[in-house]
Amino acid sequence: GENVEQHPSTLSVQEGDSAVIKCTYSDSASNYFPWYKQELGKRPQLIIDIRSNVGEKKDQRIAVTLNKTAKHFSLHITETQPEDSAVYFCAAENSGAGSYQLTFGKGTKLSVIP
Amino acid sequence: NAGVMQNPRHLVRRRGQEARLRCSPMKGHSHVYWYRQLPEEGLKFMVYLQKENIIDESGMPKERFSAEFPKEGPSILRIQQVVRGDSAAYFCASSPSGTPDGYTFGSGTRLTVV
């Protein structure tokens, strides 16, 4: 099955700096990679995603890069703001037994210091 | 559109009792996924259902856990004879197509077993 590793587990940055979170996956057949933001006690919310036919995708201050050969993908947040503080999860889609599941990383707790 | 509705939001059960978690998908969505999130961990896939059918239950423990999605009404995740290790947040996601790029997560049910 798919295995997703995520680093770092915690990240503190000064407001205005950039934050980078990295993930690796094991199943070369995976082709959909979403990133979720989860605030304390709330639901995971999709912030950006990328498919394997694309190497990079950007949405305002957030970007995701994908290297299929190396099986890793990264989340980049620029000009961080205090409201970016949350736990971020990467995930990879894997298909099995007729379903399309997501395998999640263990999360990165991002703290943006004002 | 009220989004994916889960209830109850918080559930406390004594060891040995039964827990019933409900998930009403978004209007027009006929695909439901259940995930479990242990403290400080990512979400882990449990089961995927379509109306009246369990499509993939490969992530669900074989004993004590069951799920259904009847023709009418919400999807139900049932945990019999709960143990302390069942304490977690349980999230469901619904999708119009069965693929993760259409996921919307509910707010989750936080189960505490005392």
pLDDT at B1: 57
Band (B102; pLDDT cuts 50, 70, 90): confident
> Tell me: the pLDDT tens digits for A24-57?
999 988 889 999 999 998 999 999 999 988 899 9
Q: pLDDT digits over B30-40, tens only?
A: 899 999 999 88
Residue among A43, A46, A102 minimizing CB distance to B107:
A43
Establish if B100 touches chain A: CB-CB under 8 angstroms.
yes
CB contact (8 A) between residue B45 and residue A42: no
Question: Between A and B, how many residue pairs show a Cβ–Cβ distance under 8 A?
Answer: 63
Dihedral angle at the C-alpha atoms of A91, A97, A99, A102, nearest 10 degrees? -10
Is pLDDT at A98 greater than 70 in this prediction?
no
User: Quick check: A114 and A12 in contact, CB under 8 A?
Assistant: no
Q: Is B65 on the interface with A (CB under 8 A)?
A: no
d(CA B13, CA B60): 20
CA of residue B71 relative to chain centroid, distance:
17
- Tokens (6 digits) for B14: 């004594």
> CA–CA separation, A31 vs B93, rounded Å?
20
Is residue B45 within 8 Å of B35, Cβ to Cβ? yes
- Closest CB to A100: pick one of B59, B100, B107: B100
